[in-house]
Amino acid sequence: MPTVAVVGGGVTGLTAAWALAQVGIEVILLEAGDRLGGVIRTDRLDGVPVEAGPDAFLAGDALVSLCSSVGLEEDLISPDVFGAYIWSGGRLRRLPPGVVLGLPAWPVQALREGLLSPIGALRAAAEVLVPGPLRGGDVSVGALVRRRFGREVLEGLVDPLMAGRRAGHTDDMSLQAADAKVDGLARSHRSILLGIRRGRRSGELSGEPPPFLAPRGGMERLVDALTRSLRGRLGPGCIRTGALVTRVSSRREGFTLDLQGNGPLDADGVVVCLPAPQAARVLLGLSGDASRELEGIPFASTAVATFVYPPASCVLPPHGSGFLVPSSEGRALAACTWYSVKWSASAPADGGIVLRAFVGRAGIDPALSLDDDGLAALLERELGDALRPTAPPRLAQVTRWEDSLPQYRVGHPARVARIERALEGHPRLALAGAAYRGSGIPDCVAGAEVAARRVLNALAP
């Protein structure tokens, strides 16, 4: 029976291992740390489950199918409230329904909410007069939006919506990689604005919030269910934590993996589910070209501060679950989720209010150089400016995620293609993870299943 080694025990590695296990392949999952799940982690704060990483995933067939296969389908729930505000000009302003993919389908709606000035709204409406469609290679998000919609749309709407979720700067961010839908609209329509309106009428694009899901009780239940299912299918020895892979080298009809502090492991196939810099070191002996390209993918560090405020100490705006902060505001805070409103089951029994504050943008964020107490104090002050609580938080916890978010710079899709070409001589090896074709959980799950199929197809003869 062929053996496939999966290197990395985040949700990508767990999904790849589970996909391989479905067809009777012997799988060994190797995780360098002492826990599985990567950035998915559910803590208990003030007696309730609170996420330290992502709190939901975008609903899609692949992820729902994965949850179903490990017994979680009936436990998936949607947020109780979902909607965003933008902290702009010292006020929380509701993101209007006319904003699609960060761009205003009807600029007048953004004007009414105070997110655009009259001149900014007029400039955005004039997008229909800008020559198009987009031609040539990849461009930055900032370059496209500034040219077609103007500075105000870029800084007030697109930056907090797109750069906020990817911790990147729009002038560096690849349009193709960051949002393929916008790139497609720009290339297939004379006017992006008209393309958005046409897409909304046809149902291809929606101005409504996207559907999100999470397992009841916390995201870590997905990690636990995958782990339990793998061990039930393959035996307890199929998962090894504390197993640091330092090198993958080729041998006849397979690979040898060097493990720090342990003997080598032979495998017929390998799926590497590591962050790009770690994958570069592991694969250096197989392909210097692939390793150099992997090293060229930068990562940003982030932090999450969770605060529990006393009951009724914060009056939160209605019809929303949090707010985003444009870079131009000059704040450390990038976003805030009203967690106990979004997920009412995670509200403390006495009615306490749980808020999660996010920090981290591309490059070196000065706020992240503060210690935990200093960072929590800074964010508490900024939340005070935005929400005007009447009492200080009774509890605060800071979680740091070092080098956690890959930055999709201009030319990123071409870089990924070069990496894959450099590894074509090793068809039984595949890469998967947030560094390649999307950093969200659905992207990682889809990439893991593609990588598993590639290795299976190469092993089929």
What's the pLDDT score for residue 164? 61
Q: What is the pLDDT of residue 74?
A: 92
Share of the chain above pLDDT 90, in %: 81
State the pLDDT at residue 365.
79
pLDDT at 202: 79
- Asked whether residue 247 carries a pLDDT value surpassing 70, the answer given is yes
pLDDT beyond 80 at 98: no
Q: What is the distance between the alpha carbons of residues 375 and 370, in angstroms, rounded to a whole number?
A: 5
pLDDT value at 85 more than 70: yes
Say how far apart CA 338 and CA 316 lie, in whole Å.
Answer: 8
- Per the CB < 8 A criterion, the answer to whether 79 and 51 are in contact is no
Asked if pLDDT for residue 433 goes beyond 80, the answer is yes
Q: In whole angstroms, what is the distance from residue 24 CA to residue 3 CA?
A: 10
| Residue 26 in tokens | 């012997």
Tens-digit pLDDT profile for residues 412-430: 999 999 999 999 999 999 9
Which pLDDT does position 323 carry in this prediction? 95
Same domain, 391 and 306: yes
Region of poorest pLDDT, from 214-223, 279-288, 355-364, 452-461: 355-364
Residue 392's CATH number: 3.90.660.20
Q: Cα dihedral angle (283, 288, 291, 293), rounded to 10 degrees?
A: -150
Average model confidence (pLDDT) across the chain: 93
**SS3 state of residue 74:** helix
- In this structure, is residue 207 part of a structural domain? no
Task: Give me the phi and psi of 260, to 5 degrees please.
Answer: -60, 125
pLDDT at 207 over 70: no
Burial tier of 363 (Cβ tally within 10 Å: 0-12, 13-18, 19+) = middle
Q: Are residues 193 and 290 in the same domain?
A: no
Q: Do residues 281 and 418 both lie within one domain?
A: yes
Does the pLDDT of residue 144 top 80, yes or no?
yes
Per-residue pLDDT, averaged over 265-274, amounts to: 97
Q: Residues 272, 416: one domain?
A: yes
pLDDT-derived band at 209, boundaries 50, 70, 90: low
Pairing of strands 84-88, 322-324: parallel
- Is 414 a member of any domain? yes
CA 202 remoteness from chain centre: 28
Amino acid 199: pLDDT: 85
Same domain, 198 and 101: yes
Q: Which of 386, 406, 426 is the last residue of a domain?
A: 406
The answer to whether residue 320 sits within a structural domain is: yes
Provide the CATH number for the domain around residue 121. 1.10.3110.10
Instruction: Give the containing element (helix H, strand E) for 334.
Output: strand 333-337
Residue 162 included in any domain: yes
- How many domains, the chain? 3
Indicate whether 432 pLDDT > 90.
yes
Please work out, in degrees rounded to the nearest 5, the angle formed at the alpha carbon of residue 359 by the alpha carbons of 353 and 365: 160
- What percent of the chain clears pLDDT 70, i.e. is strictly above it? 97
The SS3 call for residue 451 is helix
Q: What is the mean pLDDT of residues 183-195?
A: 93
**pLDDT value of residue 253:** 82
Domain for residue 364, yes or no? yes
Q: How far is CA 321 from CA 12, 171, 329, in A?
A: 28, 28, 20
Q: β-pairing, 395-406 with 299-309?
A: antiparallel
Please check whether residue 276 lies inside any domain of the structure.
yes
Alpha helices in 310-440 (DSSP H): 339-342, 372-387, 412-422
According to the model, what pLDDT value does residue 155 have? 94
Classify residue 84: in a domain, yes or no: no
Which of 173-177, 195-199, 363-367, 433-437 is the least confident region? 363-367
| pLDDT for 222 beyond 90 | yes
Within this chain, do residues 65 and 115 fall inside the same structural domain, yes or no? no
- State the pLDDT at residue 13: 98
Is 88 a domain residue?
A: no
Sheet of strand 254-259, all strands in order from the earlier edge strand to the far edge: 245-251, 254-259, 265-267
DSSP summary character for residue 95: P
pLDDT tens for residues 352-391? 999 999 998 776 678 999 999 999 999 999 999 999 999 9
33 and 180 co-located in one domain: no
Q: Which domain holds residue 341?
A: 299-406
Q: Is the pLDDT of residue 166 over 70?
A: no
Regarding whether 363 and 324 lie in a shared domain, the answer is: yes
200: confidence class by pLDDT, cuts 50, 70, 90: confident
Residues 183 and 152 in one domain: yes
Cα 301 to Cα 311: distance, rounded to the nearest angstrom: 32
